[in-house]
Amino acid sequence: MIHEKAQWIWLAEHAAPDEYAFFEGEFDFWGQTALFSIAAETDYVLYVNGALADFGQFAGYPFEKYCDEIDITPYCQSGPNRFSLTVRYEGMNSATHIDDGAGVIFSLEVDGTLAACSQEGTRCGYDARYVQHQARSITTQLGFTSGMRCATPHTDRGAVVVEKTRRIKKRPVKKAELQAPVPGVPLASNGCIYDLGREETGYVYLSLIAREPCRVKIAYGEHLADGQVRYLLGRRDFSLDFEVEAGEHAFLQTFVRVAARYLQVIAPDGVEILSLGVRPLLYPLTERKFDLTGPDRAIYDTCVRTLRLCMHDHYEDCPWREQALYVLDSRNQMLSGYYAFEETDFARENLVFMSKGTRADGFLELTYPAVNTPAIPFFSVMYPVAVYEYVMHTGDRTVLAETMDTMLGIMRALQARIEENGLIAELPPPYWNFYEWSEGSAGVLFAKEKDWHPHKYPLILNCAFVYAAERFAVLCDMAGVRFDADTAAMRAAIARLFYNEESGLFFLSTQGKEQYSQLGNAMALLIGLGDGRTAEAVKNSAALVPATLSMLGYVYDALLAYSPANREHVLRDIREKYGYMLSRGATSFWETLKGESDFGGAGSLCHGWSAMPIYYYHKLLGKE
């Protein structure tokens, strides 16, 4: 851990967004081990004797930070040694970070004795190798990009002490590991576009020779459009800038983790690219062996790769566009990971980490760490389900002590909203009444009062409350906690208000047009409502709005719970949908079946929630 004498410091008392500070110091090494401990706001890169030793901060909350403990012994030499730090302060809220002001705190111990630490007067300066205060956004979820330039950093001042929490814990998960370089191969049709061969996630490296000073832009993307990398999408800008002088230069951009299949060089004449590619970053895991053949093998392996591309500091929805931790996305990833990998610690720590993102109203923030987000009630109510599934799959009840208060807050907040008719109405703005990206279920992000009806009762949310409450009751019994919910009364109210006796189907909402969806009817089946007509429609009816990839798990669970005879249908559906993606060149599985064309050309071609076939292959073809 960080030594008690270390202080939070920065260049000055106040910092501007997208600021890069350079800190340096010396230490003597005559011992056996050297340990460097650091927590930074927002990110850092550490060098020892000029060698890259480590980088990458685990983002924390204002009330709790996380530190890395880095064994720098391999980089040390007998006698005097030098370390340097570049620390980036992003200075904005995003889907993965809460702006808490600039700062870094570190200590260096040699054989357990303090050799250096951050304190008032530590030598520092602006790092000239990075473009200061550029503040150019990639996406609103990801925050700012980072520009690099040819320069030599130097120190010209002493650091000042800044105020920040002293509650600092060790990084809760293992650190993702940098892999061997994956070089891009220039396309024959356009030599400025480099193909990585498959979806990769990691850090762009570049070496080049320039005849004169210029700016080189590297665009990155998951697909090509009109023979180019589609990197500009509305306000989104997936590119990196490198400002170079005449001569030969090499870069590794470690402040922006990209996901891409293709890289494109945008540069003036007179620039020769020597090498361009990505250093992949993967979380260290042991994959379970599972015996499959043919198309099932290809689907399964691509699902596992999709999962791994969406695991770094925490689960991510997509490594290209957001890199954000969501309850519903991660629930799918956890279920898949229990079977794909040998360890379950990553799932546990993600559940604990999400529990810290509790709002004053009892619900969870949309992503973690984030603040003042448009909370999704459906996502919050499924958090106890994710905890329940973790406990059932691992037998680890210790997680309840760290998550119970959050789960109680969610369930009590929704229970308090049950009205006299026995149901929960749609929540008012600024809540986002989202269920999935399909007609009638996407809600309105940043809704206005005019978009909300106080007497609109949503089928899916009420079914989800019953589904979650009955699983939460099991956890409460384990923990000796009292929570009473009359799920029988709510189940009866759902049947009374949403059920169409003539068709045997449940409609989505009490307001607007009478609409039926596969997900809504699957949720009704999951809580024991409906009959054979409902199950048959969920399985085959074209009249239902189809579930998207993200929610197929609830559809499959409903069908399998209704009748084990639906086993072949589930396998056939997986083979059809996922085989379709593979037939179109997928090297990881997409956000929706529309692929890149969805969301105005911003559809992700690698999305963690789409790895669910792993779970069903084990459930239906393996030994549980």
Q: What is the DSSP string of 366-387?
A: SSSS-SS----HHHHHTHHHHH
Q: Which amino acid is at 36?
A: F
Question: Does residue 538 surpass a pLDDT of 90?
Answer: yes
Across 63-88, average pLDDT: 98
State the pLDDT confidence band at 552, using cuts at 50, 70 and 90: very high
CA dihedral of 308, 309, 310, 312, whole degrees rounded to 10: 80
Asked if residue 262 lies in contact with residue 229, where contact means CB atoms within 8 angstroms, the answer is yes
Domains of the chain, CATH where assigned: 9-170 (2.60.120.260), 177-282 (2.60.120.260), 294-511+580-621 (1.50.10.10)
Give the span between the Cα atoms of 103 and 15, in whole angstroms: 9
Q: Would you state the pLDDT for residue 202?
A: 98
Eight-state DSSP code of residue 508: S
Rounded to whole angstroms, the maximal C-alpha distance in the chain is 85
State the pLDDT confidence band at 452, using cuts at 50, 70 and 90: confident
Please count the other Cβ atoms lying within 10 Å of the Cβ belonging to residue 121: 11
Question: Does residue 609 surpass a pLDDT of 80?
Answer: yes
Q: Which amino acid is at 270?
A: G
Question: Tokens at residue 549, please?
Answer: 């990839």
Q: Where are the alpha helices (DSSP H) in 499-605?
A: 518-526, 532-540, 552-562, 567-583, 598-601
Give the span between the Cα atoms of 562 and 532, in whole angstroms: 9
Half-sphere exposure of 611 (CA within 13 A, CB side): 35
Question: Does residue 340 surpass a pLDDT of 70?
Answer: yes
pLDDT digits (tens, 9 = 90+) for 183-229: 999 999 999 999 999 999 999 999 999 999 999 999 999 999 989 99
Question: Does residue 403 surpass a pLDDT of 90?
Answer: yes
Across 488-507, average pLDDT: 96
Give the span between the Cα atoms of 184 and 613, in whole angstroms: 30
State the pLDDT confidence band at 159, using cuts at 50, 70 and 90: very high
Question: Tokens at residue 609, please?
Answer: 């929630």
Question: Tokens at residue 423, please?
Answer: 């149901």
pLDDT digits (tens, 9 = 90+) for 367-381: 999 999 999 999 999
Q: Would you state the pLDDT for residue 569?
A: 97
Q: Would you state the pLDDT for residue 400?
A: 98
Q: Would you state the pLDDT for residue 449?
A: 83
Burial class (CB within 10 angstroms; exposed 0-12, middle 13-18, buried 19+) of 137: middle
Please count the other Cβ atoms lying within 10 Å of the Cβ belonging to residue 362: 18
Eight-state DSSP code of residue 315: B
E strand or H helix at 327: helix 327-340
State the pLDDT confidence band at 41, using cuts at 50, 70 and 90: very high
Burial class (CB within 10 angstroms; exposed 0-12, middle 13-18, buried 19+) of 101: middle
Find all residues with CB under 8 Å of 239, minimum gap 6, and list them.
145, 217, 218, 219, 220, 231, 232, 266
Determine the length of the chain: 624
Beta strands in 395-535 (DSSP E): 499-500, 505-506
The answer, yes or no, to whether the previous bond of 145 is cis (omega within 30 of 0) is: no
Say how far residue 547 (Cα) sits from the centre of its chain: 22
Give the span between the Cα atoms of 441 and 274, in whole angstroms: 49
State the pLDDT confidence band at 447, using cuts at 50, 70 and 90: confident
Question: Tokens at residue 329, please?
Answer: 């996305």
Asked if residue 135 lies in contact with residue 17, where contact means CB atoms within 8 angstroms, the answer is yes
Asked if residue 507 lies in contact with residue 520, where contact means CB atoms within 8 angstroms, the answer is yes
State the pLDDT confidence band at 623, using cuts at 50, 70 and 90: low
Give the span between the Cα atoms of 510 and 425, in whole angstroms: 10
Question: Does residue 624 surpass a pLDDT of 70?
Answer: no
Give the span between the Cα atoms of 133 and 292, in whole angstroms: 52
Q: How many helices (H) and strands (E) does the chain have?
A: 14, 31
Q: Where are the alpha helices (DSSP H) in 382-422?
A: 383-394, 399-415
Reduce the DSSP state of residue 352 to 3 states and report it.
Answer: helix
Give the span between the Cα atoms of 383 and 374, in whole angstroms: 16
Give the position of tokens 């983790």: 257
CA dihedral of 216, 220, 226, 232, whole degrees rounded to 10: -80
Question: Does residue 451 surpass a pLDDT of 90?
Answer: no
pLDDT digits (tens, 9 = 90+) for 413-445: 999 999 999 999 999 999 999 999 999 999 998
Question: Does residue 513 surpass a pLDDT of 80?
Answer: no
Asked if residue 570 lies in contact with residue 560, where contact means CB atoms within 8 angstroms, the answer is yes
Across 40-55, average pLDDT: 98
Mean of all residue pLDDT scores within the chain: 96
Of the listed ranges 277-286, 427-436, 451-460, 608-617, the least confidently predicted one is 451-460
Question: Does residue 334 surpass a pLDDT of 60?
Answer: yes
Question: Tokens at residue 45, please?
Answer: 């890169």
Question: Does residue 128 surpass a pLDDT of 90?
Answer: yes
Across 95-117, average pLDDT: 97
